[in-house]
Amino acid sequence: MNNSSEPSLFPGKQGREQRRHPRYPCDGYAEVFLPHGGLLFRARILDLSISGCYIETALVNLGRGTQVEVYFVTNQLQFRVLGNVAVLRRKRGAGIAFANVSPRRVLQIATLVGELAEQQVKG
Q: Topology of 24-122 in CATH?
A: Thrombin, subunit H (2.40.10)
User: pLDDT tens for residues 43-66?
Assistant: 999 999 999 999 998 877 788 999
Distance CA(121)–CA(46), nearest Å, equals: 17
Confidence check: pLDDT of 11 > 60: no
Over range 18-35, report the average pLDDT: 86
Distance CA(40)–CA(58), nearest Å, equals: 12
Domain boundaries, the chain: 24-122
Confidence check: pLDDT of 15 > 70: no
User: pLDDT tens for residues 95-120?
Assistant: 999 999 999 999 999 999 999 999 88
- State the chain's mean pLDDT as an integer: 82
All residues at 6 or more sequence positions from 121 whose CB lies less than 8 Å from its CB, including other chains: none
Confidence check: pLDDT of 10 > 50: no
